[in-house]
């Protein structure tokens, strides 16, 4: 009997388990980091009692979520009400399989090469955009099915906002695609490993695209200053007003996973992915240490992005809804088109 296909599938399952566990752990600690950093910005301490410096706080929070009473509103549309958090979390998790966490590594004694990316295929970038666009339904349906006017307003705002900013987000990536000439994320990262691994050419050559991406990504993940769908001063808690216990936790999780995946995409496309300057010169391509440094570097860059998210939350006030729409349609979208025009011209003239 041929064991190879079964081994392959088992390997994939192992990879998915490891990647998802690590990412979920980082996400859990992002919540803690957010509370501590926000505390620092606002001149207070933040949670620091559970474990050393608050290090067990995420698990205490999780326990609290599980033990809370699960309240379902009487007049809610039950099937959709239960479906919505599942859609939100699943869409957030599903994009994680295409990101290259590190370079290909030759294992020292087993004489095999492992790829530090779960699935590598031709349309990886489009897959990310597609799955992200399906994630809107989680929030929109949650708002509708709760049978609560604040939830409904939150859901409506979120779907309008996400449709608007998806355009700017997609268009800001086209400059990168034009320069790389491929949609394969691992290939895009490999293209950035020139200049001793410091040629993160997409931030040097695509600064405009990077800024547009950053702004529309924050809007896509419904974070401050674009967190209109859950603006607590106007809408109680927006689309998740009627959600309690684990179902609320799922929305919470989905938001933070979305932050993480959006940061991973930014790192992959604009910050050179797993490329760490001079790592290849020191350790050599394909060695185990090179792979380790790559993975750590990748995760550090992503954490830098997460810090920017938290920093913004502590610094900026919220937009008004018409300002948000004007900003998206009248400023970001034309700017993204200008960026595409310039990049396409330069690529056509063989300057880039």
Q: How many residues bind other proteins (CB under 8 A)?
A: 40
6 belongs to the binding site for other proteins (CB under 8 A): no
Q: Select from 109-117, 156-164, 284-292, 341-349 the region that touches other proteins (CB under 8 A).
A: 156-164
Give me the long-range contacts of 230-235 (CB less than 8 A, separation at least 24). 230/154, 231/318, 233/318, 235/150, 235/153, 235/154
Dist. CA 262–CA 265, nearest whole Å: 5
Kindly tell me which residue out of 13, 40, 59, 121 binds other proteins, with binding defined by CB under 8 A. Answer: 121
Residue 93 touches other proteins, criterion: CB under 8 A: no
Tell me the helices (H) and strands (E) count for the chain, helix number first: 15, 2
Contact 278, 197 (CB under 8 A): yes
Minimum CB distance to other proteins smaller for 59 or for 121: 121
**Using the rule CB under 8 A, is 140 a contact of other proteins?**
yes
- Confirm if 241 and 150 have CB atoms less than 8 A apart: yes
Q: 335 to each of 145, 263, 332, how far by Cα in Å?
A: 37, 21, 5
DSSP state of 146: T
DSSP at 320: P
CB 175 to other proteins: min, Å: 16
CB of residue 225 vs other proteins: minimum separation in angstroms?
15
What is the residue whose two structure tokens read 């530090």? 116
Stretch that binds other proteins, among 103-111, 125-133, 197-205, 265-273 (CB under 8 A): 125-133
CB of 277 to other proteins, least distance (A): 31
User: Going residue by residue from 163 to 182, which x/- string records binding to other proteins, judged by CB under 8 A?
Assistant: xx-x---------------x
Q: CA-to-CA distance for 160 and 141, rounded, in angstroms?
A: 13
Interface stretch with other proteins, choices 124-132, 234-242, 268-276, 309-317 (CB under 8 A) = 124-132
Summarize as ranges the residues that interact with other proteins (CB under 8 A): 77, 79-80, 83, 121-123, 126-127, 129-134, 136-137, 140-141, 143-144, 152, 155-156, 159-160, 162-164, 166, 182-183, 321-326, 329-330
């Amino acid at each position: 009997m041929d064991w190879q296909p079964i081994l392959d599938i088992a390997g994939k399952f192992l990879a998915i388990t490891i990647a998802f566990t690590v990412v979920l752990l980082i996400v859990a600690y992002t919540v803690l980091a957010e509370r501590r950093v926000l505390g620092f910005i606002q001149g207070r301490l933040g949670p620091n009692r559970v474990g050393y410096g608050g290090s067990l706080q995420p698990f205490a929070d999780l326990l609290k979520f599980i033990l809370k009473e699960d309240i379902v509103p009487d007049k809610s549309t039950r099937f959709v009400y239960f479906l919505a958090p599942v859609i939100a979390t699943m869409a957030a998790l599903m994009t994680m399989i295409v990101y290259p966490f590190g370079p290909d590594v030759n294992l020292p004694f087993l004489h095999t090469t492992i790829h530090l990316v779960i699935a590598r295929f031709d349309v990886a970038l489009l897959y990310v955009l597609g799955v992200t666009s399906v994630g809107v339904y989680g929030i929109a349906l949650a708002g509708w099915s709760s049978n609560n006017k604040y939830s409904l307003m939150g859901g409506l705002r979120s779907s309008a906002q996400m449709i608007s900013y998806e355009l700017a987000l997609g268009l800001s990536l086209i400059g990168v695609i034009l320069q790389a000439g491929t949609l394969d994320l691992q290939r895009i990262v490999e293209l950035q490993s020139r200049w001793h691994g410091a040629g993160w050419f997409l931030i040097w050559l695509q600064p405009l695209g990077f800024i547009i991406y950053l702004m529309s990504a924050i809007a896509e993940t419904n974070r401050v200053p674009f967190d209109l769908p859950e603006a607590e001063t106007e809408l109680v808690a927006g689309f998740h007003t009627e959600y309690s216990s684990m179902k609320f936790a799922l929305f919470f999780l989905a938001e933070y996973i979305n932050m993480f995946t959006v940061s991973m995409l930014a790192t992959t496309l604009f910050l050179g992915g797993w490329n760490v300057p001079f790592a290849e010169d020191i350790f050599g391509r394909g060695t185990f240490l090179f792979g380790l440094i790559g993975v750590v570097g990748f995760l550090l860059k992503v954490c830098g992005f997460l810090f920017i998210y938290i920093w913004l939350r502590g610094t900026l006030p919220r937009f008004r809804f018409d300002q948000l729409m004007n900003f998206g349609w009248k400023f970001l979208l034309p700017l993204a088109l200008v960026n595409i025009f310039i990049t396409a011209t330069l690529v056509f003239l063989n300057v880039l």
